[in-house]
Amino acid sequence: MTPEEALVAAERNHLPVLCSEVVAALAPQDGDLIIDGTFGAGGYSRAILAAAGCGVIGVDRDPEALTEARPWASLYGDRLRLVEGVFSELDTTPDPKEKVGGVVLDIGVSSMQLDRAGRGFSFLRDGALDMRMGSDGPSAADLVNTAEEALLGDILFQYGEERRARVLARAITSARAKSAIRTTVELSRVIEAASPAKKPGQVHPATRTFQALRIAVNDELGELARGLAAAERVLAPGGRLVVVTFHSLEDRIVKRFLKVRSERSGAGVSRHAPGPQAGPDPSFETLTRKPVEAGEAELSSNPRARSARLRAGRRTDAPALPFEARGLGLPGLALEGLA
């Protein structure tokens, strides 16, 4: 396959969500350097490269995503650099002398990851219960077979917003006492057997369990919080941060981060001081008072866009503030030391 054919195939196989809205919010200019922290199938990166004479660093923790892109990436020459890594460290990817004009994050799992049975993300495909986006750390099978029942229940409740979390955690620990749960279908059967029959219009009973395990295995919420702080450190004054989320917990983290960073924290009048107490200067100016959502045309061609929310901010020239997870709404789960 030629690079041109590989590019056509990549464009045909993947529909990026809110793509034109992302490019409009990033507003790339000629000569800019943009970091696409969730490169995936490269849909955003290609649209950014088409919108201006800029450069893009495409970061992804999934080596398979980068391998898929290599056949066509050469068409962009040195305008597109691919880097395997996590976006919580995206401030370490550019050369310190390079001025970064934009960072975009598209949070979640890619269609390639969902479609490949061997990655273990989908209960619709039988495969090893893995769910790791990267190549290290404990898998979903490790978690499901070793975590204490109480922690499993917390994970399902907090990350999956699963109301029957305790019942399902008990069903998992009872099943694994008989034999280890190794595949997506084995886990899905355990959840189905412990759930009331699905009524028409309801999602599959394992949907929330799979989502929760995926978020835990990849520490997705912690990554997001640290990724926002890394973007704050790396963006030049005037640079844009654009984040697309698909889950209310993630949207809340982005919303709170931009709110805290765009207010003069600590402002207010103290009884004991003569004037207003100024906190540090805001490091961002919020560009989206309300989240941007997909329009009718996109929803009809891509139902996955239904839950997408875009928020954006513009970096000021104030120094970056120290990273502080408190106040961002991260559930406090003790995930360290699993498996």
Q: In angstroms, what is the minimal distance from the CB of 19 to ligand SAM? A: 7
Task: Tell whether residue 168 is a contact of ligand SAM (CB under 6 A).
Answer: no
Decide: is 72 part of the binding site for ligand SAM (CB under 6 A).
no
Q: How many residues bind ligand SAM (CB under 6 A)?
A: 21
Read off the DSSP letter of residue 202.
Answer: P
- Measure CA of the first residue to CA of the last residue in the chain; give whole Å: 42
State how far the Cα of 93 lies from the Cα of 55, in Å rounded to an integer. Answer: 13
Closest CB 298 distance from ligand SAM, rounded Å: 13
What tokens does 120 get? 């273990």
CA distance 108 to 249: 12
Alpha carbons 267 and 254: distance in angstroms, whole number: 22
Q: Answer yes or no: are the C-beta atoms of 330 and 219 closer than 8 Å.
A: no
59 near ligand SAM, judged by CB under 6 A: yes
Residue 48 beta carbon to ligand SAM: minimum distance, rounded to whole angstroms: 10
Build a one-symbol-per-residue string for 19-58: x at contacts with ligand SAM by CB under 6 A, - elsewhere. ------------------xx-xxxxx--------------
Identity of the amino acid at 216: A
Tell me the CA distances in angstroms from 328 to 118, 242, 287, one per residue in order.
Answer: 34, 17, 19
Instruction: Identify whether the C-beta of residue 315 lies closer than 8 Å to the C-beta of residue 235.
Output: yes
Query: Closest distance between ligand SAM and the C-beta of residue 42, in Å?
Result: 5
Give me the least distance between CB of 130 and ligand SAM, in Å please. 13
Place of tokens 């002398």: 97
Determine, following the binding rule CB under 6 A, whether residue 208 of this chain makes contact with ligand SAM.
Answer: no
Of the pair 133, 165, the CB lying nearest ligand SAM is at 133
Least Å distance, CB 108 to ligand SAM, is 5
Say how far apart CA 256 and CA 329 lie, in whole Å. Answer: 8
Please state whether beta strands 309-315 and 235-245 pair in parallel, antiparallel, or not at all (unpaired): antiparallel
- Stretch 132-151: interaction string toward ligand SAM, x if CB under 6 A: -x------------------
Angle at CA of residue 156, ends 242 and 227, nearest 5°: 25
| Beta carbon of residue 253, minimum distance to ligand SAM (angstroms, whole number) | 13
Binding of ligand SAM at residue 292 (CB under 6 A)?
no
Stretch in the footprint of ligand SAM (CB under 6 A) among 49-57, 71-79, 105-113, 275-283 = 105-113
Give the C-alpha separation, 328 to 74, whole Å: 39
Binding mask 75-104 for ligand SAM (x = CB under 6 A): -----------xx-----------------
Q: Are 128 and 182 in contact (CB under 8 A)?
A: yes
Q: Is 14 in the site for ligand SAM (CB under 6 A)?
A: yes
- Per rule CB under 6 A, is residue 229 in the interface with ligand SAM? no
Query: Which residues of this chain interact with ligand SAM, rule CB under 6 A?
Result: 14, 16, 37-38, 40-44, 59-62, 65, 86-87, 106, 108, 110, 133, 223
